[in-house]
Amino acid sequence: MPELPEVETVVRDLRPLLLGRSFVKIAVSRKSLRRKWSRAWEATLLDRCVHAIRRRGKWIVIELGIPCLVAHLGMTGQLTVASADQPREAHTHVVFTLDDQTELRFRDVRRFGSVTVFPTMVHADRYFLQISLGPEPFDLTDGRWFGSLNATRRNLKAILLDQTIVAGVGNIYADESLFEARLHPTTLGNAVTRKQAKSLRLAMVAVLTRAIEKRGSSIRDYIGGSGLKGEMQNEFRVYGRTGEPCRRCRTTIVRIVLAGRSTHYCPRCQVLGTIVEPQRLRRARASRSPKATG
Ligand SMILES: [Zn+2]
């Protein structure tokens, strides 16, 4: 599933191809996506100029003056610009013909993705509020992040996957960030110290930044907006490396299932700290001298 770095790559690829262009024709296949396309949207989009294209979490937002087009790639979605004379691949569900004889194409084999139109940006932002979309990982402060971790007894893997706590992280970058921070994925949120929370936040930022530089990870269907694949899959430390030696300590990488998802970690680099029960934690905090906190 495309995560923040993949979606960011699509946005960066599409930006020069879409800015200033307008849609002259829209064709939609009969098969419906996760959210049904409405024919009424078409009139609001035609002959309007693309003003901006940006990412929010795993969402792609294309602003056309007042209305905006919001796309989610779901599991297998691809949003690319191709020359109109290039044959359309199977599973291409929405095609926007641009005024320069190119096409913005939404292709999605499994159809868990969506393309939706909001009448204004205010409506789109209201939608993101409605689904409680959390902050971008790059915008998190240490205080807010520690507060979010501290408020829950769920494990770190589940917390990282929760889009209401931090937007854009999925299975791959959750595992990679936990390895980078040397934290065991089953560590409970409320057992994390301020120092560990900070190192996890910095690890997440470092891993995502590196992945954007590498144009994301192409494991299955993901390609960027220009059709080019990503290369981050060649640099994974733990994700998908079950049974292989840790690149840091040579210990065999282990796979477990957490929050219903495959989770990969190094049992030596990511040692589980003592699980502190809430009552014990509170008592420990109360007895700590002010100097020792932080
Ligand atoms: Zn290791």
Distance 265 CA to ligand 1 centre (A): 8
In this predicted structure, what is the pLDDT of residue 288?
A: 56
In this predicted structure, what is the pLDDT of residue 135?
A: 97
**Cα three-residue angle 284-288-289, rounded to 5 degrees:** 175
pLDDT averaged per 10 residues, the chain (length 294): 96 97 94 85 94 97 96 95 95 96 95 94 96 97 97 97 97 98 97 96 98 92 88 96 97 95 96 54 54 38
Distance 253 CA to ligand 1 centre (A): 8
Note whether 31 and 2 are within 8 A (CB).
no
Establish whether 36 is a catalytic residue: no
In this predicted structure, what is the pLDDT of residue 286?
A: 59
Establish whether 213 is a catalytic residue: no
Given the residues 182, 229, 261, 268, the one annotated as active site: 261
pLDDT in tens, 119-175: 999 999 999 999 999 999 999 999 999 999 999 999 999 999 999 999 999 999 999
Establish whether 3 is a catalytic residue: yes
Q: What are phi and psi of 144, to 5 degrees?
A: -65, -40
Alpha-carbon gap, residue 117 to 278, rounded angstroms? 45
In this predicted structure, what is the pLDDT of residue 283?
A: 57
Distance 250 CA to ligand 1 centre (A): 6
Distance 264 CA to ligand 1 centre (A): 11
Q: What is the DSSP letter of 64?
A: -
Distance 257 CA to ligand 1 centre (A): 19
Given the residues 55, 58, 157, 237, the one annotated as active site: 58
In this predicted structure, what is the pLDDT of residue 1?
A: 87
Q: Return the exposure string of 150-165: e unless at least 16 CB atoms fall within 10 Å of the residue's CB, then b.
A: eeeebbbbbbbbbbeb
DSSP readout, 126-172? HHHHHTT----GGG--HHHHHHHHHT--SBHHHHHH-TTTSSS--HH
pTM of the model: 0.90
Establish whether 135 is a catalytic residue: no
Distance 269 CA to ligand 1 centre (A): 4
What Å distances lie between residue 175 and 180, 185, 186, 239, 269, CA to CA? Answer: 9, 8, 11, 6, 13
Structural domains in the chain, CATH included, are 4-130 (3.20.190.10), 137-292 (1.10.8.50)
Residues with CB under 5 A from ligand 1 (ion): 246, 248-249, 251, 266, 268-269
Distance 9 CA to ligand 1 centre (A): 30
Given the residues 2, 67, 137, 185, the one annotated as active site: 2
